[in-house]
Structure 1
């Protein structure tokens, strides 16, 4: 731990006492520090990004939080570094082995595929893709996911009319099916452990959250009742009216100025919650005890090859087209699009901090995941479709006709943004060895980017992976039994810079893998009762969950994942 020199001896001693107290705080409720905790996830934000911004903008809101709160500079997210396990970890205290959440697009060997009916439920073969993202919305092309708010595409402020119960926006026909009940399995039912929202509700507290898909109703927890007001406009919907003859257009992630606009809808909801209103600005439910949102602007600014951006720090000027996304040539300094996104997030946080009651509210800033690579020169895009087809064809030994074979392919499901996760139909030792050896020998040409954002050819080997685990190795990696019905059969850890995608330079960074750039994110705790400190001790973002309960005077041990994994409250909080 590194303590700022300006702290007095008394404060230093109190911090030491706080360390001792925190070690024993998991089983006992503590005197509450706060009545409210505002949790903010800035998706994609690396610790290095926060350091750069704070140094460049010492009077900013981000600098206020980082320099006057407790800044954990050696924090990392769960693996895989996907949004779902990352966010679920922050509100449960658990890793995938306990929560059962390996990815937002995963696979279950015990559930039945979508479309299974009551008539064939008990005869259907188990094994189902579990895809909890925009694809399960009633209408994935609409910002309101099919609620059909009148006049929405003429006046986006009407998105405030979106329901606070997004389970109603999910089409059950797109969900996997339980072989026991023969009913669709909603996201909250798939989660194996409870959440901080459920614990808060158990104690009569009010809760709220804003996120990017209706599928984030998973944060309600298994009860389905954890969040009183869950505001979830669909980020992957069309920016233009999808009912027009031209059909759906680009979604809100394809232009960073649109992503900022999208994020501002959620900021408005947070500001209304701070005022004690619901997300639409109505009623008087009171300021929630636990509430918050995620920002997408930084994440898309890191991923986009080129995008429009706002050139001024206030993000109010005329936008400029064609700026390069990601970082400058040194791989550490944010480029113009990313700087615009960071300025936007900072300005929105400033509004929140100014609006909240700083005498009884604690703000926790972190990220669901980072993003890799930061240096454009490291990028190598491997065509994942070709890779999976080649593996299936090699296993089936008839490459020319394998796509038309009536036999089951080896790969039942795969997801591979910047790390490989595969589930197999054949889980025999022979199949596992074959797949691992095949990928270790798989090479070819992918895509990279030059300094101007133009695609170039980049060779790759070992399927772009530095390490491949299969079978028992994967079970050991996650800390589960090999008969776990959700654990992947094969995991590939990407080489630095590898991103899996198609045949275009559509993205220059991704998340989901195990690289340090994917997982090294900040945690900052600031507000009522929190002293200034810089903590270099290694911590995990899943420690946020028990910390929130402790700050509110609730027992962290009420979280099932905390019991299973002995997740500790963040250290050095006095």
Structure 2
């Protein structure tokens, strides 16, 4: 009887597998019938909706205009809550907000984690998680970033640890993201699928693989902070130098479209889902206005650098479209052009750079170490980013937003009261006294971003007046990361050969997290295969004629 039961159970399992495979094959066949066999996602970081409207209206982006002419342009697309690169990209590829995906910034804090060198997880908890250019091995012991691929491996000093049962395990970026990604969902549910992505940090964007660690077949390892051997500077010094870095990504896409890997050195399938990030526009926007950076007025009239960056990006888009056409893939590819984030302020008259008054106020009020001993760069050894950083210190992340993880969470009410007593733009004020500024904490923060008691979510979020950057930098006049209007209102154009009534605008408010379920629906997969979509009820973008999108 036991043997019979085992055979019966085995037949049931085989039947389930057969049904799943049949369903996946049927989904692939429906996708092909619709004409969509590939999805290309492109992030022109910094691209505002107003940039799209201006360049199309002024005939300065003919390739983007080509897509808009027979596709759908979303004029009211916004990021879900925060606009740093990590939560911005997570929205696009998980379908979730920071509350669900768990990504607030590429440099953040988690109270549950242990220091990288605490191999037994026996010390204090609370670690400044840094998944940026220092995640590659070139940065070990503060080393120079001399290789485009970040040194070819993870920097062990940048990888925190967590207790998992009786074990103390490393937490790589793919372990850190809390939900799966479109790459994982496609890989696991569409037989024969292949995935690829290229981004600005060689190792920090490992989280795109999702919790399985295997979602992206070809994750190009390119590090924008690396030193270009021809100039001995990194690719961020001027927007024209950033073009050289972005050209690596253009070539990666062309290689992949041609049936090669991102390096062009081996044969691979054309990716089912693939894409890349471009930094040129973001660098031009940040450049100081007096040098031609940013915008000239509140109407998004571009300065010379932004104008040049838009021209470059559209030319790059044209090269990618040409490659698709050359390989007879254009009509079978759904193309999404958008951005992880915008940039603020575009109206230079609103710019305020009083220095990091928020962090200073928190330090002097004893909510963080008054000597600045917090964060991974404050190490016991004195070597930059060597994994011996001070633990259990709290952290604050500022750009044009303030994310605050208090040293002592019981001080939250007192800290909020201190912040509210210092809202003005006069020292020691935090410049959050306008009608569009706010301080989030308590139940309102929990509802939007999750419970700080779980360790990941900031205790307090400060959104200062639009135009405020918590810096005194003389090299940048714009930043991103928060929820200011210019941060969060983005360009979004979607095209595929079967768009009904193409060439129209959708003016209803949408969120960039709706891109992720749209990718799955285009490939005729259930959007709820994405955990964040199921949890947050994220809808497919309207107006594309995809099944169940209306």
Task: Please report how far the alpha carbon of residue 329 of structure 1 lies from its aligned counterpart in structure 2 after TM superposition.
Answer: 3.7
Counterpart of 2:162 in 1: which secondary structure?
coil
2:336 to 364, 369, 385: 364
For the 8 Å contact 1:254–1:304, the answer to whether it is kept is no
For the 8 Å contact 2:432–2:438, the answer to whether it is kept is no
Cα distance in structure 2, aligned partners of 1:396 and 1:222: 34
Long gaps (5+) in structure 2: 1-25, 140-144, 375-379, 381-389, 546-550
Give matches, 1:489-504, under 5 Å. 489-501=459-471, 503-504=472-473
TM-score by length of 2: 0.83
Long gaps (5+) in structure 1: 1-27, 148-167, 243-248, 307-321, 447-458
Match of 1:110 in 2: 112
Cα distance in structure 1, aligned partners of 2:124 and 2:530: 34
Task: Please report how far the alpha carbon of residue 419 of structure 1 lies from its aligned counterpart in structure 2 after TM superposition.
Answer: 0.6
Instruction: Sort the Cα spacing of 1:394 and 1:170 in 2 relative to 1 into closer, same or farther, 3 A.
Output: same
1:95-136 deviation per Cα after TM superposition (whole angstroms, max 9, x unaligned): 111111111111111111232223xx2x21111111111111
For the 8 Å contact 2:425–2:432, the answer to whether it is kept is no
Instruction: Sort the Cα spacing of 1:343 and 1:117 in 2 relative to 1 into closer, same or farther, 3 A.
Output: same
Cα distance in structure 2, aligned partners of 1:434 and 1:173: 35
Determine whether 1:554 maps to 2:543: no
Cα distance in structure 1, aligned partners of 2:444 and 2:398: 18
For the 8 Å contact 1:212–1:234, the answer to whether it is kept is yes
1:463-489 deviation per Cα after TM superposition (whole angstroms, max 9, x unaligned): 4462112233321332x2352321100
Cα distance in structure 1, aligned partners of 2:61 and 2:97: 36
Match of 1:382 in 2: 354
TM-score by length of 1: 0.79
Match of 1:266 in 2: 249
Cα distance in structure 1, aligned partners of 2:233 and 2:148: 16
1:51 to 50, 53, 58: 53
Match of 2:137 in 1: 138
For the 8 Å contact 1:421–1:492, the answer to whether it is kept is yes
Structure ranking higher in strand proportion: 1
Instruction: Sort the Cα spacing of 1:185 and 1:403 in 2 relative to 1 into closer, same or farther, 3 A.
Output: closer
Match of 2:293 in 1: 325
Cα distance in structure 1, aligned partners of 2:132 and 2:495: 32
Match of 1:509 in 2: 478
Structure ranking higher in helix proportion: 2
Cα distance in structure 2, aligned partners of 1:559 and 1:409: 34
Counterpart of 1:283 in 2: which secondary structure?
coil
1:193 to 163, 170, 179: 179
Determine whether 1:209 maps to 2:197: yes
Give matches, 1:445-456, under 5 Å. none
For the 8 Å contact 2:37–2:332, the answer to whether it is kept is yes
Instruction: Sort the Cα spacing of 1:58 and 1:415 in 2 relative to 1 into closer, same or farther, 3 A.
Output: closer
Match of 1:172 in 2: 156
For the 8 Å contact 1:42–1:366, the answer to whether it is kept is yes
1:486-521 deviation per Cα after TM superposition (whole angstroms, max 9, x unaligned): 1100110120110012x3322101111111111111
Cα distance in structure 1, aligned partners of 2:368 and 2:147: 45
For the 8 Å contact 2:60–2:311, the answer to whether it is kept is no
For the 8 Å contact 1:379–1:499, the answer to whether it is kept is yes
Instruction: Sort the Cα spacing of 1:29 and 1:71 in 2 relative to 1 into closer, same or farther, 3 A.
Output: farther
Determine whether 1:415 maps to 2:387: no
1:134-193 deviation per Cα after TM superposition (whole angstroms, max 9, x unaligned): 11111141242443xxxxxxxxxxxxxxxxxxxx52112211111223222100011111
For the 8 Å contact 1:29–1:555, the answer to whether it is kept is no
Match of 1:520 in 2: 489
Cα distance in structure 2, aligned partners of 1:109 and 1:398: 16
1:372-404 deviation per Cα after TM superposition (whole angstroms, max 9, x unaligned): 1001121111322x54243223237997x8979
For the 8 Å contact 2:82–2:483, the answer to whether it is kept is yes
Task: Please report how far the alpha carbon of residue 411 of structure 1 lies from its aligned counterpart in structure 2 after TM superposition.
Answer: 6.4
Match of 1:92 in 2: 94
Report the count of equivalent residues: 483
Cα distance in structure 2, aligned partners of 1:516 and 1:370: 9
Task: Please report how far the alpha carbon of residue 330 of structure 1 lies from its aligned counterpart in structure 2 after TM superposition.
Answer: 4.4
Instruction: Sort the Cα spacing of 1:225 and 1:402 in 2 relative to 1 into closer, same or farther, 3 A.
Output: closer
Cα distance in structure 2, aligned partners of 1:61 and 1:558: 33
Give me the CA root mean square deviation: 2.6
